[in-house]
Amino acid sequence: MLDLVDVGLAVVGRQILHDINLHVLPGEIHAILGMNGTGKSTLASVIMGLSGFSPTSGKVVFQGEDITALSISGRAKRGITLAWQEPARFEGLTVGEYLELGRHGSPGGGPPPGECLLMVGLPPDRYLQRTVDATLSGGERKRVELASVLSMEPRLSILDEPDSGIDALSLNRILDAVRILARNGASVLLITHQNEIAASADRASSLCGGTILKTGDPLAIGRFFRNHCRECPHGSVPHGEVPLHE
Amino acid sequence: MSDYTKEFLAMSKAYEASGGDPASLSDGRIAGLMVSHRRILRSNDAPGVRIEGEETPTGVKAKITVDPGVHVERPVHLCFGVLPKEGTQEIVSEFLVGEGAKASFLAHCVFPNAVKVRHVMDARIHVGKHASLEYSETHYHGEEGGVEVLPTARITIGEGGSYRSLFKLVQGAAGELRIDYEADIGKDALCELDARVYGKRNDAIRIKESLFLNGEKSRGLAKSRIVASDHCTSEVVGEAVGNAPGARGHVDCVEIVRGKDARVSAVPRLLVTDDRAKLTHEAAIGSVDKKQVETLMARGLTEEESVDVVVRGILR
Ligand SMILES: Nc1ncnc2c1ncn2[C@@H]1O[C@H](COP(=O)(O)OP(=O)(O)OP(=O)(O)O)[C@@H](O)[C@H]1O
Ligand SMILES: [Mg+2]
């Protein structure tokens, strides 16, 4: 589905990602585990094609097509979307309208806004008319973001910490929504810090110091993350050197 | 058809185009005032609401009173317009909202054919103790840009009272717009001034919103949302003066520039004379927020469509 080949990114002379080789298979939930500042959101931005994040080396391939130079809209039209770690706020745009926009972006015309809200555990009668501005709480905004991804029925969903800011009781709801996104051969790139969340994935990769150290079974990667990366002296200060853990 | 009927129908049509419901203009239960150029076409009282209008050589003088304690159920409808291409209209008005009263006003200002129209609004607004007034003013201008709109309001809000106004000029050419609002806010009183304008071509927008937080624990918000395209210029001055203990004021300005020839500026002016008052301001001027645009693009919209959605939202 998605292949990153030797991807590197330098921002103002600083190497944030390097030698990334990542392969997300059709229909899989692929978790990315890594500590603060290791480059997870940067990786998400590179895949979505956000401005300022075109790789300085390597290429991004989606369903066999090199999309490295493609615009954000072009990628979205091919079925890639991103749920931001800190989603944007919009004045004068209701939750219902926001979800409709995503739905129109879907080739098949995804599920209606009310249904998407239910999938993330928000009662439609209380949320459809709310504005996607600063009056939504952090957790509510995160869930609306996930609902908006659901409304697009994407081929590849990049979810940047969909679990952060979500109360413990609702986490299962969020995981259910992630599973819905991976139906019919679609894939999910699930960025998280939590092993428990990563455990629901089919495979996982651990990101450290701006590169992928290991890919494999999520439980094994989770163990690796817990036993090694948590003590990694380079975790939050990537300098382009890959620390040797093994 | 009489002249009067023709004019009434033409005004109703423009009123409808500006988003008003024309049925409300002939509904006897709804208080209202309709002025076409210098002629009063309709003036209607409702229980607790009195409208006294008088035609003058340059326009109309109006006094609108809401009796103390009255909660006006249906919004009072005001409609001011100039239908010909040219003309000057001066509205000198006084609004008196009695103690404990509650009312909302919907004003529509329509200049659909303007080539050289000047509309002056000079309002004195008194909101009594524990009274509340909401005033929404929507403008509908033609595309020619030949309008000069000069709304001035001097507002006083008594203890525990509240005043909220929303000025909207997003349809047609803004022309030359100079808003000058000044509020004297009493103890525990609240004032919110909100202006939203879409400027195009050679429109010149000047907005001044001033909050004088004179009463203890008074609160005020001066908000403006401007989108400037083509050769439009916009200048917003948001002013707050904290003169009393516990007073809180906030100036909030967003101006979006579309295209390389528009010019916008924002000047927040904050003055505190009491060390227990607190004033804040935020301004964002320039291009549309990148993250907002990219979020919508990631949902499949083009860049242009995304900017439109953001812009429509902030002017809503
Ligand atoms: N524009 C930039 N200029 C310089 N450094 C940047 C820039 N953007 C990100 N970085 C740095 O790149 C590194 C990776 O950031 P990124 O946001 O991708 O981390 P993350 O893994 O998502 O962290 P978190 O878990 O906190 O969300 C960080 O050290 C960050 O400070
Ligand atoms: Mg991050």
Q: Using a CB cutoff of 8 Å and minimum separation of 24, what contacts does A196-199 make?
A: A196/A171, A197/A31, A197/A163, A197/A171, A198/A31, A198/A33, A198/A222, A198/A225
Give mean pLDDT, residues B31-55. 95
| Other residues' Cβ atoms within 10 Å of the Cβ of residue B179 | 24
CB contact under 8 A, B296 and A50: no
Q: Which pLDDT does position B17 carry in this prediction?
A: 84
pLDDT band at A231 (very low <50, low <70, confident <90, very high): low
CA of A42 to the centre of ligand 1 (A): 6
| Pocket-forming residues, ligand 1, beta carbon under 6 Å | A 11-12, 14, 16, 34, 36-42, 85
Which ligand is in closest contact with the Cα of A83? 2
CB atoms within 10 A of CB A215: 15
What pTM value is reported for the model? 0.87
Chain B contact probe: residue of A45, A91, A116, A159 with most B CBs at under 10 A: A91
- In this prediction, residue A171 carries a pLDDT of 87
Q: Which of A208-212, B108-112, B209-213 has the lowest mean pLDDT?
A: A208-212
- Lowest average pLDDT, out of A186-200, B46-60, B240-254, goes to A186-200
CATH number at residue A50: 3.40.50.300
Residue A62 lies in domain: 2-229
- Residue B125 is predicted with a pLDDT of 98
B177-195: per-residue pLDDT in tens? Answer: 999 999 999 999 999 999 9
Q: Give B288 Cα–ligand 2 centroid separation in angstroms.
A: 23
- Which of B291, B301, B314 is opposite residue A101, by nearest beta carbon? B301
Q: Find the helix packing angle between A95-105 and A138-152, rounded to 10°.
A: 30
A106 touches chain B (CB under 8 A): yes
- Both tokens of B302, joined, read 């083009």
Phi-psi region of B231 (alpha: psi -120 to 50; beta: other; left: phi over 0): alpha
Residue A200 sits at the vertex; the CA angle it makes with A195 and A204, to the nearest 5 degrees, is: 65
| pLDDT higher than threshold 50 for residue B144 | yes
Minimum mean pLDDT range among A226-235, B84-93, B149-158, B263-272: A226-235
Q: Bigger pLDDT: A48 or A243?
A: A48
Partner-chain residue, chosen from A51, A71, A105, that has the shortest CB–CB distance to B299 = A105
In a domain, A211, yes or no: yes
∠A91-A97-A98 over CA atoms, to 5°?
70
Can you give the pLDDT at residue B252?
Answer: 96
Query: Across all residues in chain A, what is the average pLDDT?
Result: 89
Q: A112 to chain B, minimum CA–CA distance in Å?
A: 15
pLDDT exceeds cutoff 70 at A56: yes
B189: which 2 tokens? 């009183």
Measured between alpha carbons, how far apart are the two ends of chain A, in Å?
29
The mean pLDDT value of chain B amounts to 94
ipTM here = 0.92
What would the mean pLDDT of A147-166 be, rounded to a whole number? 94
Q: How many domains does chain A have?
A: 1
Reported as a single tens digit per residue, the pLDDT across B299-316 is 999 999 999 999 999 998
Which of the residues B250, B293, B295, B309 would you substitute to probe the A interface, choosing the one with the greatest number of A C-beta atoms within 10 Å? B295
Q: Whose CA is nearest to atom 14 of ligand 1?
A: A39
Contact B300 A50 (CB under 8 A): no
Calculate mean pLDDT across residues B106-126: 94
Give SS3 for B123: strand
Q: Evaluate if residue B150 carries a pLDDT over 90.
A: yes
pLDDT digits (tens, 9 = 90+) for B272-292: 999 999 999 999 999 999 999
What's the rounded mean pLDDT across residues B66-70? 97
Tokens of A199: 């455990």
Q: Which residue of B has its CA nearest to A106?
A: B300
Measured by CA distance, the residue closest to atom 31 of ligand 1 is A37
* A148·B312 Cβ contact <8 A: no
What residues have CB less than 8 Å from A64, skipping those under 6 apart? Answer: none
Residue nearest to atom 3 of ligand 1 (CA): A11
- Is B252's Cβ below 8 Å from some Cβ in A? no
DSSP H or E run through A31: strand A29-33
So what's the pLDDT on residue A229?
A: 62
Q: Which residues of A46-83 are buried (b: 16+ CB within 10 A; e: fewer)?
A: bbbbbeebebeebebbbeeeebbebebbebbbbbbbbb
Can you give the pLDDT at residue A234?
54
Average pLDDT over residues B187-208: 96
- Mean pLDDT calculated for residue range A129-145: 95
User: Looking at residues B230-241, what average pLDDT do you find?
Assistant: 96
Helix pair angle (A138-152, A171-181), 10° resolution: 20
pLDDT confidence band for B148 (50 / 70 / 90):
very high
Asked whether the beta carbons of residue A77 and residue B289 sit closer than 8 angstroms, the reply is no
Given a contact cutoff of 8 angstroms between Cβ atoms, the answer to whether B77 and B20 are in contact is yes
Q: In what order do the strands lie in the sheet with A65-66?
A: A14-24, A2-11, A57-62, A65-66
Chain A residues in contact with B291 by the CB 8 A cut-off are 84, 88
Which residues does chain B have within 8 Å of residue A152's beta carbon, measured at their own beta carbons? Answer: 299-300
